[in-house]
């Protein structure tokens, strides 16, 4: 199982939380702008974020991509 690189187009994120239910140990909603961010950068507020994390395996990342209603997620 390989580690994924997940690209978050945060300007598209509507903070619905659906992808958080897939990987709650890796992601949170940012304290700065309420949008999806890596758990280790809780105040992130840029438009785009690339995340690699040992707990973010490719199959988990693909599930996240699949549930996002705004197409804000992709695998890089
Ligand atoms: S599923 Fe998409 S819109 Fe919802 S919180 Fe995740 S990235 Fe944002």
> Which atom of ligand 1 is least distant from the CA of 29?
5
Statement: residue 33 has pLDDT above 80: yes
Q: Where are the domains of the chain?
A: 3-75
Task: Quickly list H helices, 15-69.
Answer: 58-67
Query: For the residues 15-29, what does the mean pLDDT come to?
Result: 97
- Identify whether the C-beta of residue 48 lies closer than 8 Å to the C-beta of residue 7: yes
Confidence of residue 76 (pLDDT cuts 50, 70, 90): confident
> Which residue of 12, 16, 73 sits with most ligand 1 atoms within 8 Å of its CB, as the best mutation to test the pocket?
16
Confidence of residue 49 (pLDDT cuts 50, 70, 90): very high
Statement: residue 1 has pLDDT above 90: no
Separation of CA 75 and ligand 1 centre (Å): 14
Residues having CB within 6 Å of any atom of ligand 1: 13-19, 36, 67-68, 70, 72-73
Architecture of domain 3-75: 2-Layer Sandwich (3.30)
């Amino acid at each position: 199982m390989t580690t994924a690189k997940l690209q978050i187009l945060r300007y598209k994120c509507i903070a619905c939380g659906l992808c958080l239910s897939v990987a709650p140990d890796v992601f949170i909603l940012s304290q700065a702008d309420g949008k999806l961010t890596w758990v280790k950068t809780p105040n992130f507020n840029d438009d785009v974020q690339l995340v690699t994390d040992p707990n973010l395996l490719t199959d988990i990342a693909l599930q996240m991509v699949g549930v996002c209603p705004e197409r804000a997620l992709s695998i890089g």
